[in-house]
Structure 1
Amino acid sequence: MPEVIVYAVEGRTPEQKKMLMQKITTAVHESFGTQPDRIVVQIVEAKADNKTRGGVLYSER
């Protein structure tokens, strides 16, 4: 059972997240041959003030 975890800064709509999870499921199904109902996709969201890139908070970008 493949499991894909996506880490992202919060702010996407539920529709955007659903679309991403559906496309990842399709890609894993096509690449691995795993049945879609056996594929787990999870989005882990971080607050923009809890994540940095190059030492700069995402909330300050």
Structure 2
Amino acid sequence: MPIVQVEMLEGHTLAKKRLMVEKVTEAIVESLGVPADKVTIIIRDMSKENFSKAGKLACDQ
């Protein structure tokens, strides 16, 4: 039972999330040979004020 956690910055549409989980599930089914109903995906939307890169918060860029 593969469990995938995806952490990303908030702001992606529901349509984009639906497409992403569909494609990730397909990749896992293909590469691991498990049934799609055994794949679990957890999406964690992160506030831009809680993410930084190169010493700058994403909300400040």
TM-score, reference length from structure 2: 0.95
Distance, in Å, in 1 between the alignment partners of 2:21 and 2:15 is 10
Distance, in Å, in 2 between the alignment partners of 1:42 and 1:19 is 14
Letter paired with 1:10: E
**Identical-pair percentage:** 31
Letter paired with 1:9: L
Q: Deviations over 1:18-60 (max 9, x none)?
A: 1001100000000000000000011111100111111111111
Misfit runs of 4+, over 6 Å: none
Letter paired with 2:27: A
Q: Does residue 1:4 correspond to 2:8, yes or no?
A: no
Work out the number of aligned pairs and report it: 61
Distance, in Å, in 1 between the alignment partners of 2:28 and 2:35 is 9
Q: Which residue of 2 aligns with 1:52?
A: 52
How do 1:1-61 and structure 2 match up within 5 A?
1-61=1-61
TM-score, reference length from structure 1: 0.95
Q: CA RMSD in A?
A: 0.6
